[in-house]
Homo-oligomer: A and B are copies of this chain.
Amino acid sequence: MTAHKKRLILICNDDGYYSPGIRALAEVAATYADVQIIAPDRQQSAVGHSITISTPLRANNVKMLNGMDAIAVNGTPADCIKLAHDKLMDRKPDLVLSGINHGSNAGINIIYSGTVSAATEATVLGYPAIAVSCNEFNEKADLSGCQEAAARMIEFVFKNGLPKGITLNINAPAGPLKGLKWTRQAESRYVEEYDGRMDPHNRPYFWMTGKFELLGKGEDLDVQTLNDGFGSVTPIQYDLTAHDILKTFKEIEI
């Protein structure tokens, strides 16, 4: 079998190419396919779907701590995917993975997530894509359950494909996987978001902080599923149109 007959998986994240999470994901992916890692050269958390238009991007060959080769890009997760697609890959990937993020991307966090945005960008460009996040910020967390969740959904996508415009968003607790459930994005928000302080020159400044608040109720919410100790898989879309509301609004002249 020639190398070109083997499947290719592109891997990105938002914690930077040196994070334990991306190594854990790459190691799972390597059991299924050839792997190409193209990821930010530094931490890019909470960048949402940012893209870099006012400064040029650089791409450098680097070695990960587990010895795997990677390309480090001085941009956001979405930049990495766009540049990979347009310039950095000799052949197109069969699947794009993003993660494993250190910290969950469930509920309202989805809209701030660089990890999810890399997967979404891949979906926009026509690739099947999966984002994977661990419900634990500690970089030493046991990612074996997240790895198992990723493996199961890689197999799912290779078997079933994904509908056009759909990205899979996986979250799982640290430790062994208790099980995996189909979920929806939980209605949630942050409260008391800023810690106001005075600097040594007596000028105010504000640190982002805030408590996560789950507003929705239901066993099939991503946040609730995590709280119950299970892994969650939410199919998400980048068509933001509220189609039902649009139907109602069309009755009203504007």
Q: In the assembled complex, which residues on chain B have CB atoms less than 8 Å from the CB atom of A240?
A: 110-111, 185, 236-238, 240
Tell me whether A86 and B192 are in contact (CB under 8 A): yes
Cα–Cα, bound, A124→B233 (Å) = 22
DSSP majority for the A interface? mixed
* Contact indicator A56/B180 (Cβ below 8 Å): no
What is the CA–CA distance of A23 and B182 in the complex, to the nearest angstrom?
46
What is the total number of copies of this protein in its complex? 2
Is A194 at the interface (CB under 8 A from chain B)?
Answer: yes
Interface size on A, residues (CB 8 A): 73
- Provide the bound-state CA to CA distance between A206 and B112, in Å: 26
Residues of chain B lying within 8 A (CB to CB) of residue A207: 56-57
Residue A83 interfacial (CB < 8 Å): yes
Q: A residues bordering B, Cβ < 8 Å? A: 43, 45-54, 56-59, 78-79, 82-83, 85-87, 108, 110-112, 117, 120, 124-125, 152-153, 156, 160, 163, 165-166, 180-182, 184-185, 187, 189-190, 192-194, 196-197, 203-208, 233-243, 245-246, 249-250, 252, 254
